[in-house]
Amino acid sequence: MTGICDGRVVVVTGAGRGLGRAHALAFAAEGARVVVNDLGVGLDGTADPDSPAARVVEEICSAGGEAVAHGGDVATTEGAASLIRTALEAYGRLDTLVNNAGFLRDRMLVNLSEDEWDAVMRVHLKGHFLPLKHAAAHWRTETKAGRTPTARIVNTSSGAGLLGAVGQGNYSAAKAGIVALTLVAAAELSRYGVQVNAVAPAARTRMTEQTFATTMAAPKSGFDAMAPENVSPLVVWLGSAASTGVTGRVFEAEAGRITVMQGWRRGPSADKGARWGAGEAGETALKLLGESEEPGPVYGS
């Protein structure tokens, strides 16, 4: 380990299992003091009697690191505010926020209920916005006091948010929203010393057990391509001071592959200089489509 996070205080949401746990352990191994947040619920949102956050804290401390648990709901104002307070009260500072918490309510659109839509939007999108808001408010105060931080936010999107996924209209929309939130936050918060990026990971977690069912067996090569630990090195680097100058970017991370996503860019264009008629607008649109790149296929299509 290089210790690239020595002295930093890192908050990771949804860190009791899967990707969040891997991130928390990886940050601690690189010298960070970690606030491990997990509400401790099942995939369907119901209470889990076990305390996954406490178990991860125990793992970190047993390995010689420092960590504290936080069990609040980060999709509420009080839960998000208390998350940031926990870092400040425990360690006196906050350097990095990793927004990772999430769950699924998968349905085809015609079967998707309003409650299932709202629940996923709340946990993913609101659960990113509120911790980001409260962390940013702290860093703004620090900057105004003459203590501009070297702060980092790493958000968690998904390939579903970048390309769409059949049966995941709610999840895809929420994860696409996180990308837009990342871009806006990167632009708004740079004046306070904050860099904001997003990762779109592919890994084996409780949320993806069915998706990666064919790759769940123990690897014969010795490299477990779907291990969540494969994603964490990039997240740790983005959350460290070493990533200076990198902000407003989205990365895919899967197995041993890291990809910079290029997102929406203006492609072929035509300007008449006046209002189009419907027919000629259609003819022009077809011509421009012929000159443009084909979009990637929706997952599951």
Cite the active site residues.
Answer: 158, 171, 175
Write the CB contacts of 6 (distance below 8 Å, at least 6 apart in sequence): 30, 31, 32
Q: Tell me how far apart the alpha carbons of residues 176 and 182 are, in angstroms, rounded to a whole number.
A: 10
CB 296 within 8 A of CB 261: no
- Residue 145: strand, helix, or coil: coil
- Residue 169: strand, helix, or coil: helix
- Angle at which helix 127-144 crosses helix 169-189, to 10 degrees, equals 10
Give the burial class of 209: count Cβ atoms within 10 A of its Cβ; 0-12 exposed, 13-18 middle, 19 or more buried. Answer: exposed
What is the Cα 64 distance to its own chain's centre? Answer: 27
Closest CA to 83 of 30, 127, 32: 127
CB 83 within 8 A of CB 37: yes
CB 239 within 8 A of CB 5: yes
Q: Tell me how far apart the alpha carbons of residues 235 and 225 are, in angstroms, rounded to a whole number.
A: 17
Sole residue written with tokens 């632009």:
187
Q: Tell me how far apart the alpha carbons of residues 218 and 225 are, in angstroms, rounded to a whole number.
A: 10
